[in-house]
Structure 1
Amino acid sequence: MQPGPYGGPQGGWYAPPPPQKTNTAAIVAFVMSIVCALPLVPLILGIVALSQIRSRGEKGKGFAIAAIAIHGATIAIYGIVLALGLSGALDDSPAPKRDTGGQVTGSGSSKVNDLRKGDCFNTDGDLAQYEDKADSQAAFSVRVVPCDQPHEGEAYAVFDLEDGPYPGKDKVASTAEEKCGGTELSDYVGKDAKVSEKLEVYYYFPQSTTWILGDRKVTCFMGEAGGKSTGSLRATGS
């Protein structure tokens, strides 16, 4: 009898490699970018997911890249809309009518930056929400009306801040409060004028977002948070 071949056939089995796991961060980032979740979160998660995918050999690269692209585009659109809103390009309301001397003769919409000394205007109730005068930049536009019509505010001084880097909200507000509370008001209404105790001094001033667009203007105005007044407080000749 011939001996069998050395070693003989041996049995065995083959185990396929485990399937690749899809990166969780990539999926979450993609879903959040679709539903427009918290700003920048999908973008950050997408970048983190790409790093994890490379180091762990996971799937989901397409989800991560899509999340970054979608949320990046969303941020860009928001930025464009904000810039157009601040510039007034989205406001198609007619501007107020003025006579040759600049006095308002017909109501119209105006950017806060376009208010002039002596303009009377309405803020759609924003004054009633002002709890801190340092946060008085509540709107980008107002409704300017002739002063003989009911109005919430009357601008009595307008001036520009110096160019340069944004000095910070507290510094800008402090400068606005100092100048608006100086002689500008008494010069406007007259030293012997009797101003209603209900009227308060407010001011519009540049925010960090509007400073980038060239906004340097501070507008001082008197307003009555609880109602409206009729007629101008401006002294003759001021």
Structure 2
Amino acid sequence: MAFVMSILCAIPLVPLILGIIALTQIRDRGEKGRGFAIAAIVIHGLTLVFYAAVLAFGFSGVLDDGPERDTTGQVTAPGSGELQDIRMGDCFNTDDTMPEGQKDAEASLSVTIVPCDQPHKGEAYAVFELEDGPFPGKDEVHSTAEEKCDNTALADYMGAGAELPESLEPYYSVPQSSSWDVGHHKVTCFVADPGGSSTGSVRATAS
């Protein structure tokens, strides 16, 4: 029974306990089946180790489906992630609609980061993190974002003399008080087409 349970049972420790009980009964009664009992303990022990490893790797992010990057950090294959995972130069997609004539865009926490040669909604031209501590307040967060995501930052990203295509507008996404306590302190400055998606990068070093 313990051997069968070690293969079929998904309840943790049950086959292990049954295997130990079986070994005790076999020893006390002189019955057969010691090999099956030991096999049950070993099989279920290995199963527990496997699931523990899966959980450990999963929580550490090893098994996540984030974007693939080359040695320079450039995205080479798309993957899901959080707004906090976006780096300067990353292109991404979000379910949010970008407002026209308004820099503050409430980008979702969950995004898909893609290579910039694929259709995307936003391209990050600057990313910076606010100081640790209590949430500084909505007004201060927006004021800091306005300062850091200014035309100078965008011009530095695009290169001297470059002009932003008419279809694109600059935006920024700021941390919210509801997510501040879980470590979301980054401001993401990006350009996006309020009418839909775009392809290619506006970065000076883009090919």
- TM-score interval, smaller chain: 0.5 to 0.7
Between 207-216 and 98-107, report the one with greater CA deviation. 207-216
2:175 matched to 1:209?
A: no
Q: CA deviation at 1:156?
A: 0.7
Q: CA deviation at 1:215?
A: 2.0
- What amino acid is the match of 1:117? M
Contact 2:127 2:187 in 1 (8 A): yes
Q: In structure 2, what is the Cα distance between the partners aligned to 1:174 and 1:119? A: 24
Q: Which runs of 4+ in 1 moved over 2 A?
A: 127-134
Q: How many residues align?
A: 146
Q: In structure 1, what is the Cα distance between the partners aligned to 2:147 and 2:81? A: 25
Go from structure 1 to structure 2 and tell me whether the alpha carbon gap of 1:130 and 1:210 turns closer, same or farther (over 3 Å shift). Answer: farther
Q: CA deviation at 1:130?
A: 7.0
Task: Kindly name which structure, 1 or 2, has the bigger radius of gyration based on alpha carbons.
Answer: 1
User: Superposition RMSD on alpha carbons, in Å?
Assistant: 2.3
Contact 1:127 1:223 in 2 (8 A): no
Could you say which residue in structure 2 is the equivalent of 1:38? none
Q: CA deviation at 1:210?
A: 1.3
TM-score (norm. length: structure 2) = 0.64
Q: In structure 2, what is the Cα distance between the partners aligned to 1:131 and 1:190? A: 24
Could you say which residue in structure 1 is the equivalent of 2:87? 116
- What amino acid is the match of 2:199? T
Q: CA deviation at 1:146?
A: 0.7
Please, which runs of 5 or more residues in structure 1 have no aligned partner?
1-87
Please, which runs of 5 or more residues in structure 2 have no aligned partner?
1-58
TM-score (norm. length: structure 1) = 0.56
2:201 matched to 1:228?
A: no
Q: In structure 2, what is the Cα distance between the partners aligned to 1:101 and 1:200? A: 27
Go from structure 1 to structure 2 and tell me whether the alpha carbon gap of 1:131 and 1:210 turns closer, same or farther (over 3 Å shift). Answer: farther
Identity %: 58
Go from structure 1 to structure 2 and tell me whether the alpha carbon gap of 1:215 and 1:157 turns closer, same or farther (over 3 Å shift). Answer: same
